[in-house]
Amino acid sequence: MNEFILVVFDETREVIIDDNPSGNDTGVVIELEAGTHTISLAGDQNFSPLEQDVNPTGTTPITPHEVKFTKV
Amino acid sequence: MKTLNKIAILVLFLLLTGCAHYLENDRKLIYEDDYGYRYLPKAQTTDQDKIYVVLAFSGGGTRAAALSYGVMEKLKDTPIQNGSKVLLDEVDIISSVSGGSFTAAYYGLFGDQLFSDFKDKFLYRDIQGELAQKVANPANWFRLMSPDFNRIDLAIELYDETIFERKTYQDLVNNGRQPFIALNATNLTTGSQFTFTQPTFDILGSDLSTLPVARAVASSSAFPFLLSPVSFINHEASSGFELNKDITNGLKDKYNGRNPRRYIWAYNQSIYHDDKTKHPYLHLMDGGLSDNIGVRYIADNFNRSSGFVFVRKSVIQELVLIVVNAKTQPPEHLDEDESPPNLFDVAYKTATVSMDNYSFDSIQMVSDLLQVSERFAQVMLACQAEIDAKCNPGFQLAPMGHSFKVTVVEINFLNVQDQAQRERLLSLPTSFRLTQEQVDELISVGGELLDQSEAFDKLLNRIR
């Protein structure tokens, strides 16, 4: 069963999943397989935290797991 | 005189065993993330990725190779985008097993030359007979006495010299890696799929570039009992190499976590990096033992965060999967006899039953995976349309990161309409020796089955 995340940041950045460029930007719903994933952003490291481990459960495309990064 | 003969035989033995160049996979001292036969970076394929065509070629000896050839010939003759190109130009990956690997590897190395010389170089040949002749040749008996030289090495020599012209994976790199050829074998220790790509060899601390393509094809088609496994060295880790976080996160979740399939995938790779002392070598056999269709490699790369299809989902508009399944259903007479099957029959069944049992499930699994993903994007669009029409104008749902149409076509003899022809094709043997007439019929049927597919027709209406 796949899950869905939505990465939120003040700027549009490519989302990095498990150290791999995902091909998707912040602000869009990303489908990914169940399990633990390490989420980060491409570009300048002017955000906090620098990476987050998530393990979303029971998500849908309309109710994705939100992963927020704050600009520093 | 007798002493002279003995010396001559000894010299001959030493010479021949000395020539038995047991090819080893070379070590890679320093890891480079852009080195070797790996999928091109996304930035280099953006235009190519809009129509994303994946071919999966099953096992089945010359039968599978010829059927795959027929499908490729049809794609070559299918114009798209107002005739500016043909559908074959849009093929991005060919994932293959066993017999299908001959066609895939040949196309990867020689491109359209496939259509001018592959029939004579492989399809029409009695490869089985040629291998038997090599084994019967007394000169090779000495070589076969060496622990470093096996029957499979004779097959590798034959493929290398007479089909693949001694090409290596560096030649595949030089050809531009489009389409990407994924030749699949089975790791005898883990029972899992082993795909010949540099990322797989990175884990072995090894350089795939110097490996003859024939050795990969032979691994992919090393039929149990008839041919011996192909062995590789698990070298010390290359300097700077670390396992991808997709793997380490998969391990972290454990088997009883939310994704045991990912855990097993991660575990089966990690042991060749984390426990090299216990796994200094690995031994490969026919890819059909783990997946006789070759679609699981596609599923992994579609779903895994480290997958090259995953990273392209946002740009793909048409996602096309054509599975060439050369499965047969030969007449079976075991049930007619009160006595249990003999050892030969049991060995043959043991080797082949598992190859075919899960092919249907594998195709269904990957088909569902792609189509559910397509459906999610459609649901999001429909939901937004409902909101716009009935609820709170101006409210925007976050858009889905992908939006592609999926086309899945399975080429299968069961879809042949003429009963006599269907039964004839379903009774073909699995061997590397078919008559020219049989090969020509398979090529023709491959194209016809693609042509009669409703899903394929709908696709062409969108992209023609």
pLDDT by residue (tens digit) across B199-223?
Answer: 999 999 999 999 999 999 999 999 8
pLDDT of residue B225: 77
Percent of chain B exceeding pLDDT 90 equals: 73
Interchain contact, B253 vs A29, CB within 8 Å: no
Per-residue pLDDT at B351 exceeds 90: no
pLDDT of residue B21: 42
Ranges of each domain in chain A: 2-71
Q: Which residue has the higher pLDDT, B84 or B111?
A: B111
pLDDT of residue B332: 75
Closest CB to A36 among B252, B304, B310: B252
Please report, as a single letter, which amino acid is at residue B210. Answer: T
**Cα atoms in the Cβ-side hemisphere of radius 13 Å centred on B248:** 12
pLDDT of residue A3: 97
Give the pair of three-digit tokens for residue B128: 């089985």
Closest CB to A30 among B246, B397, B401: B401
Closest CB to A37 among B249, B399, B402: B249
Q: How many CB atoms lie within 10 A of CB A1?
A: 10
Q: Which of A33, A40, A55, A59 is the best substitution to test chain B (most B C-beta atoms within 10 A)?
A: A33
Nearest to A28 by CA among B364, B268, B376: B376
> Nearest C-alpha of chain B: how many angstroms from A70?
19
Residue of B nearest to A8 (CA): B398
Closest CB to B373 among A23, A31, A36: A31
The dihedral region occupied by B343, where left means phi > 0, alpha psi between -120 and 50, and beta the remainder, is: alpha
Interchain contact, A18 vs B399, CB within 8 Å: no
Do residues B282 and B204 lie in contact, with contact meaning Cβ atoms separated by under 8 Å?
yes
Do residues B55 and B71 lie in contact, with contact meaning Cβ atoms separated by under 8 Å?
yes
Q: Where are the alpha helices (DSSP H) in B78-150?
A: 99-110, 114-118, 127-136, 138-145
Percent of chain A exceeding pLDDT 70 equals: 100
Residue of A nearest to B365 (CA): A1
Give yes or no for A37 touching B (CB within 8 A): yes
CATH architecture for residues A2-71: Sandwich (2.60)
Give yes or no for A54 touching B (CB within 8 A): no
Per-residue pLDDT at B389 exceeds 70: yes
